Structure 1
């Protein structure tokens, strides 16, 4: 299944902030977690993730530090800030409204999707 890029873009910020709310992480690990959470149905790329992380950092929603892994590789680690936690809470509230509205529409739908014509 291909997920429309508008939906990917709309969900990217809350996904990244949600992942970072669980703890500090670095780019590749975030990509892997999105892949795992979506059961392989969302394949993000570096070119999509890093501009988002940089934007979130400019907004003050995440902070970053360079760390050296056990293997000697330098990685930029990202951590959610208090501002990021507030932004995440706001996004969660927004998504709850959208999800509830969609659920109501889809449960009451009588068009092609409800009849299996999609």
Structure 2
């Protein structure tokens, strides 16, 4: 930012005001995030016919679960089986929702 304004002293806002602006932008886009995500998934499926996703909504029509996998991962599963690792973080994102990643791993016998 300093290079954009000539020096850090010339930046017309401080770290706190920048965080406030970023938080406001995040809140403004929060409602649109789901539609953007689903659109990206549809594009990915058009490029990769093996790409699959599943969305489960709650009674308020908000996302309860969202799962996806690529065609490559599905093909690897057919070769290597159901060996996966599971890692989960809890309430560390904007939505205060759990986020879990499953990562296949392969071992050579």
Q: TM-score surpassing 0.5? A: no
**Structure whose alpha-carbon radius of gyration is higher:** 2
Larger helix share, 1 or 2: 1
Larger strand share, 1 or 2: 2
Length-normalised TM-score, structure 2: 0.28
Higher RCO structure, 1 or 2 (CA under 8 Å, sep 6+) = 1
